[in-house]
């Protein structure tokens, strides 16, 4: 089973760093010297054997990431790796503060799953009709919009409330109501204590059945979640990230993942990650935007071995002849001509004329999309931004805001602009066409970002219809 890439998200102080530290500690993924340093600097706040793990300030295991944020790094999503006996994992640590929503979106865009933490102590848990925090709703909706395949709600800090079973029952009901209203499919809702380790990795600690919950632990849930399946059966779409020139220097070769066989045929090698379909020798492709066609004569995998490569994997492509191809261009499956209609005797010959070849990814100037606005400055319709689609930059502007989504009521409200962290539907006009596709069918072809042309800040995440 492939490694599962998941993110943790939630509001500030919901316990994300502590949860990551707990997963690393209880899965034995922390080096002894690092653990000794944490133990030496952690205040002792547990007084019984059952709370032994809680004596460590587990959030300190991710202090390096906090330091990065303090230094003003904009894109500061960092990844941690660990494994259980059944599976390997990659954790994307997504900041919780509202102003860092852009970072959370960055992490979620490539995640197979998301663990949303809900802090029980911040909610009016005695009420059966309690209201969830806005940040919980926002993160859940963003994960849904970004098509994160699996969503898990982990209700944290229940060890700190007077009646944990009642609190979990009310919070779980509120989460399920919200999920139903928003059209979310939650894989699990479970109670945890990241601080003390209850229901995170082990069933032990004498708390089996805690909060009336008898299901799997968080780690056991994660071990069973599926990876995001690529679409090798779709038509080929290959964004060119780098062009390796013939006779590249040894330095260039060393920078490759694994230097091996030299490029055959003395031609340039077009490197990138296959976005959709499969590329193999003999395929006829069309270069976007030039429209030139050529046949693939060889495909190298990431180890530079000749091999067909499917979606989600890196490849080097050699064409039968040299074409003007550079970073940002695409190799697309060659357009297909519809089968001509057989004319019946005596029928008008013009009625049997074959249709013009149609590209599986037609170029689009005008787009409609769901947009998450991430800049501090409000979205101004009519203003020009840079749009980045894979490795291609084009100028773009939002021509109209169709509506804004109220994250509290989930209602669509009329709006003429979007404030920071707003979510809405918009119409986009591009200065040059892109082979864009619906995000629901392809996360690689259906997403782009808007960048402020003056400040160079990431302004929006755009998910195309």
Q: What is the pLDDT of residues 391-443, one digit of tens each?
A: 999 999 999 999 998 876 778 899 999 988 888 999 999 999 999 888 888 88
Domains of the chain: 3-44+54-224 (3.40.50.300), 237-248+265-333 (2.40.30.10), 363-464 (2.40.30.10)
Average pLDDT, whole number, for the chain?
82
Q: pLDDT tens digit string along 133-174?
A: 988 988 898 888 888 989 999 999 999 999 999 999 999 999
The per-residue pLDDT for 359 is 83
Q: Locate 44 and state its tokens.
A: 């002792």
Confidence grade of residue 114 (pLDDT, cut at 50, 70, 90): very high
Q: Which tens digit of pLDDT belongs to each residue from 354-395?
A: 566 788 898 999 999 989 898 889 998 999 999 999 999 999
Tokens 């947009």, residue?
A: 371
Q: Tell me the per-residue pLDDT of 17-51, one tens digit each, with 9 for 90 and over.
A: 888 888 888 887 776 666 676 666 655 544 444 45
Instruction: Tell me what the mean pLDDT of segment 244-258 comes to.
Output: 53
Q: Provide the pLDDT for residue 2.
A: 76
How many beta carbons lie within 10 A of that of residue 207, not counting itself? 19
Minimal CA–CA distance to 150: which of 119, 112, 98? 112
Higher pLDDT, 125 or 52: 125
Q: What is the DSSP string of 16-60?
A: HHHHHHHHHHHTT-S-HHHHHHHHHHSPP---SGGGGGGGS-GGG
Q: Residue 258's pLDDT band (boundaries 50, 70, 90)?
A: very low
Task: Check residue 69 and give its pLDDT.
Answer: 47
Residue 64's SS3 state is: helix
How far apart are the C-alpha atoms of 94 and 10, rounded to whole Å?
Answer: 8
Residue 282 to residue 297: CA distance in whole angstroms = 6
Confidence band (pLDDT; 50, 70, 90) for 119? very high
Place of tokens 């082979």: 435
What pLDDT digit, counting tens, does each position of 442-463 carry? 888 999 999 999 999 889 989 8
Q: How far apart are CA 61 and CA 25, in angstroms?
A: 9
Q: What percent of the chain has pLDDT over 90?
A: 44
Question: According to the model, what pLDDT value does residue 163 have?
Answer: 93
Which pLDDT value is given to residue 146? 81
Pairing of strands 309-310, 150-156: unpaired
Q: Indicate if the pLDDT at residue 213 is higher than 70.
A: yes
Summarize the confidence of residues 125-138 as an average pLDDT: 90
Q: Which residues contact 227 (CB under 8 A, 6 or more apart)?
A: 1, 2, 3, 4, 5, 112
**Those residues with Cβ within 8 angstroms of residue 10's Cβ, 6 or more apart along the chain or in another chain:** 16, 96, 116, 117, 118, 119, 135, 136, 139
Stretch 326-337: mean pLDDT: 89
- Tell me the pLDDT tens digit for each residue of 216-236: 999 999 999 988 776 667 899
């Amino acid at each position: 089973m492939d490694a599962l890439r998941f993110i943790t998200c939630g509001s500030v102080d919901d316990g994300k760093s502590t949860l990551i530290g707990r997963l690393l500690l209880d899965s034995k993924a922390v080096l002894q010297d690092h653990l000794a340093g944490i133990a030496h600097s952690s205040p002792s706040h547990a007084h019984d054997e059952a709370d032994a793990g809680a004596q460590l300030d587990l959030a300190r295991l991710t202090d390096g990431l906090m330091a990065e944020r303090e230094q003003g790094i904009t894109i500061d999503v960092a990844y941690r790796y660990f494994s259980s006996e059944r599976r390997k994992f990659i954790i994307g640590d997504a900041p919780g503060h509202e102003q860092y929503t852009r970072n959370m979106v960055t992490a979620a865009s490539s995640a197979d799953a998301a663990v949303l933490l809900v802090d029980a102590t911040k909610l009016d848990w005695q009420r059966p009709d309690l209201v969830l925090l806005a940040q919980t709703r926002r993160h859940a909706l963003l994960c849904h919009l970004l098509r994160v395949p699996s969503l898990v709600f982990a209700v944290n800090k229940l060890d700190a409330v007077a009646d944990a079973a009642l609190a979990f029952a009310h919070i779980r009901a509120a989460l399920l109501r919200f999920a139903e209203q928003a059209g979310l499919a939650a894989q699990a809702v479970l109670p945890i204590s990241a601080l003390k380790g209850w229901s995170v990795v082990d069933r032990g600690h004498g708390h089996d059945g805690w909060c009336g919950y008898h299901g799997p632990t968080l780690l056991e849930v994660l071990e069973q979640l599926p990876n995001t399946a690529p679409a090798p059966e779709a038509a080929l779409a290959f964004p060119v990230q780098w062009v390796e020139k013939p006779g590249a220097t040894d330095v260039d070769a060393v920078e490759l993942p694994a230097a091996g066989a030299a490029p055959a045929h003395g031609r340039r090698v077009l490197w990138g990650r296959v976005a959709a379909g499969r590329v193999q020798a003999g395929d006829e492709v069309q270069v976007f935007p030039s429209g030139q066609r050529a046949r693939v004569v060889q495909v190298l995998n990431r180890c530079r071995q000749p091999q067909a490569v499917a979606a989600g994997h890196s490849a080097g492509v050699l064409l039968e002849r040299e074409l003007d191809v550079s970073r940002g261009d695409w190799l697309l499956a060659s357009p297909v001509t519809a089968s001509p209609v057989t004319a019946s005797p005596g029928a008008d010959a013009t009625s049997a004329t074959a249709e013009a070849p149609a590209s599986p990814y037609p170029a689009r100037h005008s787009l409609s999309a769901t947009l998450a606005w991430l800049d501090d400055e409000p979205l101004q319709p009519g203003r020009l931004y840079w749009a980045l689609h894979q490795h291609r930059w084009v100028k773009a502007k939002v021509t109209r805001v169709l509506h804004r989504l109220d994250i509290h009521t989930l209602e669509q409200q009329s709006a003429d602009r979007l404030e920071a962290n707003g979510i809405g539907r918009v119409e986009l006009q591009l200065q040059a066409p892109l082979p864009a596709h619906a995000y629901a069918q392809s996360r690689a072809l259906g997403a782009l970002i808007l960048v402020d042309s003056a400040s160079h800040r990431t302004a929006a995440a755009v998910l195309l219809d």
